[in-house]
Amino acid sequence: MIAVRWRRPIAALVGLMVIYYTIPSGFTTNGRFFVGLATTIAALVLLAWAITSQVRKQMFGGTEVAVQSLVLLVEMVVVVFAYGFYLLEQARPGEIAGLDTRTDSLYFTLTTMTTVGYGDIHAAGQVARVVVLVQLFFNVVFVGALVSILTATLRGRVEQRVRRKSGGDDGQAPPSPP
């Protein structure tokens, strides 16, 4: 059974997917592409702010960051970039070769984010290449920071459990084996 603490990120992922697949893409018609573009940029700015807040909280706040909130932020980054790529292809067909559906856009976003890059869907136009560069930069700076926080948080939890099991929960590391 799924632990209670993971229900929220899973429910958020389901909600994000429902929103992603049902949000209108009519922004690309009649010159309203800029509304979709502005929405995507605003979402990225908000995500960058949220990620920066998590970094500050971890570094200076002395409070533990919830792993689930970090997972949710990564989910949101994926959906925002996927929607941006989908809007771009709708407004400028041919910018991203092989991108025809929203699922294609999610696939392209994740293969770019994970640097797998199979090549079946790829940035063909200059605008798409600039957006991919923005995503790569965003991933290195912000998603990299999230991964760093996640790693530090998990490492701290493991160290706490080791101390508790060894009976040394006095803030000191347990003695190393001979």
* Residue 48, domain CATH: 1.10.287.70
Give a yes or no: residue 174 inside a domain.
Answer: no
| pTM score, whole prediction | 0.77
Dist. CA 10–CA 106, nearest whole Å: 17
What residues form DSSP beta bridges with 96?
123
Provide the pLDDT for residue 100: 94
For residue 177, being part of any structural domain is answered with no
State the DSSP string of 50-113. HHHHHHHIIIII-PPPPHHHHHHHHHHHHHHHHHHHHHHHHHSTTSEET--SHHHHHHHHHHHH
Residues of the chain with pLDDT under 70: 1-2, 26-32, 61-65, 168-178
The answer to whether position 25 is within a domain reads: yes
Q: Calculate the dihedral angle through the C-alpha atoms of 110, 156, 51, 111, rounding to the nearest 10 degrees.
A: -10
Considering the domain boundaries, does residue 51 fall inside one?
A: yes
CB 122 within 8 A of CB 97: yes
Q: In the structure encoding, which two tokens stand for residue 107, read together?
A: 């696939």
Q: How many domains does the chain have?
A: 1
Residue 178 lies in a domain: no
Query: Which is it for strands 122-123 and 96-97: parallel, antiparallel or unpaired?
Result: antiparallel
**Does residue 8 lie within any of the structural domains?**
yes
Q: Has residue 107 been placed in a domain? A: yes
Domain boundaries, position 25? 4-163
The pLDDT value recorded for residue 65 is 63
pLDDT at residue 34 in the model:
73
DSSP 176: P
Kindly state whether residue 175 falls inside one of the protein's structural domains.
no
